[in-house]
Amino acid sequence: MSNKAKETSVRIQDDLFQSVNSEWLSSVAIPSDKPAINAFEEIDVAVEEKLTEEFDRLAENYDAEGVPALKDAVLLYKKALDTNAREEAGIKPLLPLLERIKNVKSVDEFNLKSVDLMLDGVAFPFVLSVDEDVKDTTKHCLSVADPPIIIPDKSIYDKKIIRFFILSIYKKMMKKLLALTPLTKKEQKEYLSDSIKVDDSIRKLTKSPTEMADYVKLFNPMDLKDACDALKPFDFNGLMKGLYKDGVPAVINVYNPAYVKGFGSVFNERTFKAFVHWAYVGTLYSYAPALSKTISDLSKIYVNKLMGVKDNPTIKKQAYRLVSGEVFAGPVGVYYGKKYFGEKAKEDITFIAERIIAAYKDRMARNTFLAPETKEKAILKLDSIRVKMGYPDKYDEVYDSLKVSEDESFFDAMYRIKRTKLVASLNELNKPTDFSKWAMPAHVVNACYDPFKNDITFPAAILQKPFYGIDQSLEENLGGIGAVIGHEISHAFDNNGSHFDEKGCMNNWWKDEDFKKFEVLTEDMVKQFDGIIYHGAKVNGKLVVSENIADNGGVGVTLEIINGLQNADYRAYFTNWGRIWRFKAKENYIKLLLRLDVHSPAELRANIAPRNFSEWYKAFDVKETDKMFIEEGKRISIW
């Protein structure tokens, strides 16, 4: 890009984000079915368009070889598009399940039927999942989590007016959905008000998003016997025996001990009727996308309003998102990666990632606040990181068992698939951990670090411009995907990652004094962001601190590589860093993110991270009088 094209009324020294993105900001429109547009979403829109075209083509004439389960995905897509059949069926396919819930008259009866109700996707008073066992991650453990609540941020429940407003949107939507059921008008009212009451009793015990983000506190082993006692009058032992016929687990893991301890207030003989109503309403809501398009659209009213989204996606987009997003993510990802990414790019980006890990090791060796033995372990952790770039060679076995048949209905297929996948995931419990499994499929525009596997995953979809291009300069790639790779690696050493060792086991390998020094640096980072006014609201420095530390590490480590290049183009580096954070969103969504998101607003990520590095000042001759200047004493570099 020539310097001329970059010229705008905003000087880069004052505002990198506005200067680099002004043209984009003035020309881009937020899609009507999305709350925001950014570099990630733009790629997502393009990937979606490409794959929807492919699905249409494959639905006409299937010719994809080598990814057998894709055929079932395409068949399910076709069924999702058959709106005539879906509209004609309406709510009918769900009625037998709703009837089964309604007819459970006592706690004893619920206990007798609990296995089937859970596997059939009925809203349950807790959620089971199989995770890596953090004592020994080669094995699994069974975890008990709280059920989801209506308003994702529990602190809103204390703010009466906002709570009333948000719940009224939810109620309005549920009234419309309940009106489709055979319940009488009186019952509809009673079911809804009971389900709000039960939601409130769950909310009082549940963890906030910030508490859920503290991984160490999610691991609370409990003897099965103690769990059974705590969950009474629910027959947890009966459920375990039904699910694990070859032997029940001796110990289970509890995400939120307060919930298990207070469980009796959510589920007991006295509140049982209200609980059944809650389960009925919750199941209706969760199955809505598998019913007609009309019902599916109705069920989106609440979430759309919460995010400021105006329109529902077209039926094609809905069908594609459903099939590729949740149900058949694995095979769609393998197909996308093989076809659109390829081996050459995979090799190139893996090489870049390894270079970043090597630079990280060099920096770690020079670290001044960790004790020598801690540094040694940090380097061992860096050496052990598994790098997953582009796409996996295979998808999970379970997808091959999801055979969709020509003559089953859309709902029946969805119902059966949901059950099969849940059974398969619960059956992982007694199998060894498969470290080759990918945390994200290749067609998703995202990236992650998994502390329990000590791996980084970069799906093919994010490995595109502006993040990465095989024809972009190394500096541009480092300012884009490179800094993001460095960011993800930094999570191995943040407030979560530092509690897990090179094998992903929970093992405190830091000395107390290391932590104290790290905490001081963390506090500096909290202050750098805390209280900044953004769209009329304040940034919560504590909520976003880990992600800001990761950004700081990502920029630091990539600049380290650039410093070793001859005639390095620092301007290209920072310009692309500013470009990858371009972002435009609905006001509602911006406010929601400020409350819930552990990441800072993208504009601040673009503009604050560079100021901590001397390279920024040199690259653009940034002076004290410029807005993107901070004094040397206030510049932070942690990793």
Residue list 516-555, contact with Zn ion (CB under 5 A): 547, 550
As beta bridge partners, residue 506 has 500
Query: Which residue, 98 or 550, has its beta carbon nearer to Zn ion?
Result: 550
Sheet with 127-132: list strands edge to edge: 127-132, 140-145, 251-254, 221-223
Query: Which residue, 199 or 547, has its beta carbon nearer to Zn ion?
Result: 547
Query: Which residue, 466 or 486, has its beta carbon nearer to Zn ion?
Result: 486
Supply the minimum distance, in Å, between the C-beta of residue 326 and Zn ion: 23
Supply the minimum distance, in Å, between the C-beta of residue 487 and Zn ion: 6
Catalytic residue from among 54, 488, 547, 603: 488
As beta bridge partners, residue 533 has 538
Supply the minimum distance, in Å, between the C-beta of residue 456 and Zn ion: 11
CB 456 within 8 A of CB 387: yes
Residues 6+ positions from 72 with CB-CB distance below 8 Å: 328, 331, 399, 402, 403, 404
Query: Which residue, 7 or 214, has its beta carbon nearer to Zn ion?
Result: 214
Query: Which residue, 206 or 490, has its beta carbon nearer to Zn ion?
Result: 490
CA distances from 458 to 139, 346, 442, 486 (A): 25, 10, 8, 12
Supply the minimum distance, in Å, between the C-beta of residue 448 and Zn ion: 8
Catalytic residue from among 396, 551, 603, 615: 551
Tell me the pairing of strands 127-132 and 140-145: antiparallel
Q: How far is residue 487 CA from its own chain's centroid?
A: 16
Query: Which residue, 86 or 605, has its beta carbon nearer to Zn ion?
Result: 605
Run of H or E including 222: strand 221-223
Query: Which residue, 504 or 554, has its beta carbon nearer to Zn ion?
Result: 554
Query: Which residue, 287 or 529, has its beta carbon nearer to Zn ion?
Result: 529
Query: 551 an active-site residue?
Result: yes
Q: How far apart are CA 479 and CA 571, in angstroms?
A: 10
Supply the minimum distance, in Å, between the C-beta of residue 190 and Zn ion: 44
Query: Which residue, 196 or 636, has its beta carbon nearer to Zn ion?
Result: 636
| Runs of H (alpha helix) within 120-264 | 160-178, 185-205, 209-212, 224-230, 236-243, 257-262
Supply the minimum distance, in Å, between the C-beta of residue 482 and Zn ion: 15
CB 163 within 8 A of CB 450: no
By CB under 5 A, the count of residues binding Zn ion is 2
| Phi-psi group of 531: left, alpha or beta (phi > 0 → left; psi -120 to 50 → alpha; rest → beta) | left
Supply the minimum distance, in Å, between the C-beta of residue 178 and Zn ion: 40
Supply the minimum distance, in Å, between the C-beta of residue 385 and Zn ion: 15
Supply the minimum distance, in Å, between the C-beta of residue 213 and Zn ion: 11
User: Quick count: other Cβ atoms within 10 Å of Cβ 261?
Assistant: 12
Supply the minimum distance, in Å, between the C-beta of residue 390 and Zn ion: 20
CA distances from 549 to 333, 492, 501, 580 (A): 30, 11, 19, 18
Query: Which residue, 79 or 487, has its beta carbon nearer to Zn ion?
Result: 487
Q: How far apart are CA 461 and CA 47, in angstroms?
A: 7
Amino acid at 87: E
CB 478 within 8 A of CB 562: yes
Supply the minimum distance, in Å, between the C-beta of residue 368 and Zn ion: 24
Query: Which residue, 324 or 457, has its beta carbon nearer to Zn ion?
Result: 457
Spell out the SS3 assignment of 245-281: CCCCCCEEEECCHHHHHHHHHCCCCCCHHHHHHHHHH
Query: 146 an active-site residue?
Result: no
Q: How far apart are CA 279 and CA 229, in angstroms?
A: 23
Q: How far apart are CA 630 and CA 321, in angstroms?
A: 44
CA distances from 539 to 207, 581, 636 (A): 21, 17, 18
Q: How far apart are CA 238 and CA 242, in angstroms?
A: 6
Of the candidates 269, 248, 323, 277, which has an alpha carbon nearest to the alpha carbon of residue 79? 323
| Phi-psi group of 567: left, alpha or beta (phi > 0 → left; psi -120 to 50 → alpha; rest → beta) | left
Dump the DSSP string for 439-487: SS-TTSS--EEETTTTEEEEEGGGSSTTT--TTS-HHHHIIIIIHHHHH
Q: How far apart are CA 436 and CA 623, in angstroms?
A: 49
Residue list 547-606, contact with Zn ion (CB under 5 A): 547, 550
Compute the Cα dihedral for 272, 273, 279, 281 and give only its sign.
Answer: negative
Active site residues: 488, 551
Binding residues (CB under 5 A) for Zn ion: these are: 547, 550
